[in-house]
């Protein structure tokens, strides 16, 4: 898949175009990046201070999303993309912090004429994403650094529960492209916050999102999705283990607490989905 997406990539060191050859990507300045046997490429320009999702976290996310618990989010995301994307815009679909590629794959099915590029800091996530869809290529990168993507190469950018680097998103998006953002609302997973000690969504999250994007983007569509999920003990454990709460978990205590909860437990899914275009 990298042979079809390489035209949209840029060297993370110098910004030059990359070429594919003999198991690696390279630029005219001599920077080279080996392609892993799993099909992805590491385009980190150097060390990063960010913590990447572990294999256990990625396994939990893959199992939870494959079970369909977040399918309403994916379906709403696809619908929003269909309603707001300009079909005349060429380029790729870039998923920033795309994890295992579940959301990205759904969008790619809806846009059969576009290629996909998924970027994530976790090599374990990117390994899975490289196999998530036949038109998705995957690379390891840091969303807070300069993205290894050519200027205006993205017809669409997806950002689901992931970091948002406003200036870089602005740089890579086509002038008539669309940015799709999914963020949790304060009542997301509210039944588990006290019981399992989950991190609570900050009430100021929406204002921070506006600050990150408002200099560069204008919202063109926004909708809220709220559903109730029925989760058994196994699903609850995967939900806790797949997100940022996993960094703070105590496995034995958590397991004992989950076993005392009803099975299934009713848990709130609550997110906001927004579509943005470049500001004039």
- State pLDDT tens for residues 249-263: 666 677 788 899 999
- 184-228 tens-digit pLDDT: 999 999 999 888 877 677 666 666 767 778 888 999 999 999 999
Which residues span the domain enclosing 124? 2-278
Q: Is the pLDDT of residue 68 over 80?
A: yes
The separation between CA 5 and the C-alpha centre of its own chain, rounded to angstroms, equals: 18
pLDDT at residue 46, as a whole number: 74
Q: Long-range contacts made by residues 124-127, C-beta under 8 angstroms, separation at least 24?
A: 124/52, 124/53, 124/54, 124/55, 124/57, 124/58, 125/52, 125/53, 125/58, 125/61, 125/98, 125/99, 125/100, 126/40, 127/36, 127/38, 127/40
- Residue 135 is part of a domain; what is its CATH number? 3.40.50.150
The domain total for the chain is 1
pLDDT at residue 204, as a whole number: 60
- 75-93 tens-digit pLDDT: 999 999 999 999 999 999 9
Helix (H) or strand (E) holding 30: none
Give the pLDDT mean for 158-185.
Answer: 95
Mean pLDDT (the chain) is 91
Largest Cα–Cα distance of the chain, in whole Å?
60
- 104-149 tens-digit pLDDT: 999 999 999 999 999 999 999 999 999 999 999 999 999 999 999 9
Closest C-alpha among 97, 116, 102 to residue 66: 102
| pTM exceeding 0.95 | no
């Amino acid at each position: 898949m990298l042979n079809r997406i390489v035209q949209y990539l840029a060297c993370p060191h110098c910004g030059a175009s990359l070429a594919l050859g003999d198991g690696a990507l390279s630029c005219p300045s001599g920077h080279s990046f080996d392609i892993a046997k799993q099909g992805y490429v590491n385009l980190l320009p150097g060390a990063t201070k960010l913590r990447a999702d572990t294999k256990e976290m990625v396994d939990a996310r893959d199992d939870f999303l494959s079970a369909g618990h977040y399918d309403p989010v994916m379906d709403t995301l696809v619908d929003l993309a269909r309603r707001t994307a300009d079909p005349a815009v060429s380029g790729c679909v870039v998923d920033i912090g795309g994890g295992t590629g579940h959301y990205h794959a759904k969008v790619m099915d809806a846009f059969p004429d576009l290629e996909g590029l998924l970027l994530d800091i976790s090599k374990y996530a990117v390994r899975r994403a490289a196999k998530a869809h036949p038109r998705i290529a995957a690379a390891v990168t840091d969303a807070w650094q300069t993205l290894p993507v050519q200027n205006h190469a993205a017809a669409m950018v997806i950002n689901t529960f992931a970091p948002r680097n406003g200036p870089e998103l602005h740089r890579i998006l086509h002038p008539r492209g669309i940015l799709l953002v999914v963020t949790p609302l304060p009542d997301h997973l509210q039944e588990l916050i006290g019981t399992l000690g989950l991190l609570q969504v900050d009430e100021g999250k929406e204002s921070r999102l506006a600050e990150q994007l408002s200099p560069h983007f204008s919202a063109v569509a926004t909708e809220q999705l709220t559903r109730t999920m029925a989760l058994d003990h196994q699903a609850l454990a995967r939900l806790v283990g797949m997100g940022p709460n996993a960094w703070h978990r105590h496995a034995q205590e958590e397991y004992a607490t989950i076993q005392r909860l009803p099975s299934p437990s009713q848990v709130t899914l609550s997110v906001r989905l927004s579509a943005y275009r470049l500001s004039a």
